[in-house]
Amino acid sequence: MTFQNFIGGRWVDACAGATFENINPADTSDVIGTFPRSTPDDVNRAVASAKKGFDIWKRTPAPGRGDVLRRVGDLMSARKDDIASLMTREMGKPLSETKGDVQEGIDTAYYAASEGRRLFGHTVPSELRNKWAMSFRRPIGIAGLVTPFNFPMAIPTWKMFPALLCGNAVIIKPAEDVPHTVTVLVELLLDAGLPPEVIQLVHGHGEDAGAALVQHPDVPIISFTGSTETGRIVGEICGRMHKRLSLEMGGKNAMIVLNDADLDLALEGVLWGAFGTTGQRCTATSRLIVQDGVHDSFVSMLEKRVRALRLGDGRQADTDVGPLINRGAVEKVERYVEVGRAEGAELRCGGKRATSAGLDRGHYFEPTIFTGVKAGSRLEQEEIFGPLLSVIRVRTPDEAFTVNNDVKYGLSSSLYTSDVSLAFRGLNELDNGITYINAPTIGAEAHLPFGGVKQTGNGHREGGWEVYEFYSETKVGYVDFSGKLQRAQIDTGNA
């Protein structure tokens, strides 16, 4: 199948005619289709069209914009299974997870729809008589969205729906590994009645299409989810150009299991947190920090269950863990296995590609555990984005909190304890944007702010109520109906 960009209200090829292939990571002989490999020319056309879209959309009342998004939510609900299936084919994670990914998009649509009837400003008293003072929210312009492969529906909707609800036009460049899901999303937006010029879909690679979007002078808002290294480059460009920028980047999330934890509960949590989505979540559990008293018993419980995880095609019902996204991802995990060995950590299971019959056709890697990982080592500090869990032994809760905090990232953390005081101390002391008590490091919900501290982000949040501030500009209006000049700060007497 041949897929196209959506620019200027039409499905079109890339100007230069180049294409790339979308390949199933579970079976590399399965080519899903070819997609346009866009260049700056395509981005320029998208911007020209989005300007027209913005003119139409910014004048559409916010409740009406919300109605379009509600219909998108309805259409996504009706096609949930079919979208999950095509998403698993291009991304690899099991169907239960891709259904969850679509559901996160549906939740985001309905939340945005309801925000159309709020989008609150403030009305406050003026210091002067017969004068009204208020703030309200205005659209900004064209939002350029650059999205990753791991949540092919959820992350594009997190960015796109709030941007649209606030009245902006959108240009999206999805990850080249998962271009099909966003193509369907754009079809649904059009079916729901979005004026076509309001949305532009530009397929391609980060270095040409993505970079052109970030650098375009007429795109004042950029939202990027991806690596901390790429985010730094995006940040430099946006800083020079005074763009509004939201960055969601790396993580090195830890689960802490203290001596008084419910170990059976913690076991289910770490299996889901570390090996769900094959470890390819920003929120994946990459470190397991275990207190001395339960360390050995918990590690042996865990090893037994990890050895029993079933690798396979995500479209098969009995699959626990799907493939990695591409060859580069497999090679990266392999490199970290070597790093772990060289640093003297003990490989407990996994550590290599899975090559048994059937699995040799895809990018499979065995779920891997290293124990005896030292705080401060590379294995313990660097984001891997694969099914590799590092176990660190600690003596006290305070040491656990210190180890959690001594990394450059700060997205999510998780604390298993039955002591309510320790739980609240953890909430206070763990340096992360999200902390879970007695639940794994993943599981963010669409109506709460999502994001991390330190080098995970740049202070903005996605989701919840906060993202609407990112995608809109605060404007203040003063209305003086006194009929005379009243000078603020001066004519404020009681007279």
Residues 435, 256 contacting (CB under 8 angstroms): no
Residues 376-405 that bind ligand UN1 (CB under 6 A): none
Nearest residue (CB) to ligand UN1, 60 versus 412: 412
Rg for the chain, CA atoms, rounded: 24
Q: What tokens does 152 get?
A: 């092919």
Distance, in Å, from the CA atom of 121 to the CA atom of 363, rounded to the nearest integer, reads 49
Nearest CA-CA partner of 280 in 338, 332, 354: 332
Q: Which range touches ligand UN1 (CB under 6 A), out of 175-183, 309-317, 336-344, 441-449?
A: 441-449
Closest separation between CB of residue 372 and ligand UN1, Å? 27
Closest separation between CB of residue 204 and ligand UN1, Å? 21
Nearest residue (CB) to ligand UN1, 5 versus 456: 456
Nearest residue (CB) to ligand UN1, 104 versus 197: 104
Residues 133-152 that bind ligand UN1 (CB under 6 A): 150-151
Closest separation between CB of residue 412 and ligand UN1, Å? 7
Residues 263-322 that bind ligand UN1 (CB under 6 A): 281-283
Contact between 432 and ligand UN1 by CB under 6 A: the answer reads no
Q: Which range touches ligand UN1 (CB under 6 A), out of 256-264, 324-332, 394-402, 439-447?
A: 439-447
* Neighbouring residues of 237: CB distance < 8 A, sequence distance ≥ 6: 214, 215, 243
**Count, residues near ligand UN1 per rule CB under 6 A:** 9
Contact between 249 and ligand UN1 by CB under 6 A: the answer reads no
Closest separation between CB of residue 440 and ligand UN1, Å? 9
Nearest residue (CB) to ligand UN1, 49 versus 150: 150
Contact between 170 and ligand UN1 by CB under 6 A: the answer reads no
Distance, in Å, from the CA atom of 215 to the CA atom of 135, rounded to the nearest integer, reads 31
Q: Tell me which residues are annotated as active site.
A: 248, 282
Closest separation between CB of residue 209 and ligand UN1, Å? 21
Distance, in Å, from the CA atom of 74 to the CA atom of 475, rounded to the nearest integer, reads 33
Q: Which range touches ligand UN1 (CB under 6 A), out of 34-42, 124-132, 289-297, 437-445?
A: 437-445
Nearest residue (CB) to ligand UN1, 49 versus 253: 253
Contact between 442 and ligand UN1 by CB under 6 A: the answer reads yes
Contact between 444 and ligand UN1 by CB under 6 A: the answer reads yes
Distance, in Å, from the CA atom of 46 to the CA atom of 197, rounded to the nearest integer, reads 9
Closest separation between CB of residue 13 and ligand UN1, Å? 31
Residues 63, 121, 443, 449: which binds ligand UN1 (CB under 6 A)?
A: 443
> At how many degrees (to 10) do helices 292-307 and 263-275 cross?
50
Q: Which residues bind ligand UN1 (CB under 6 A)?
A: 104, 150-151, 281-283, 442-444
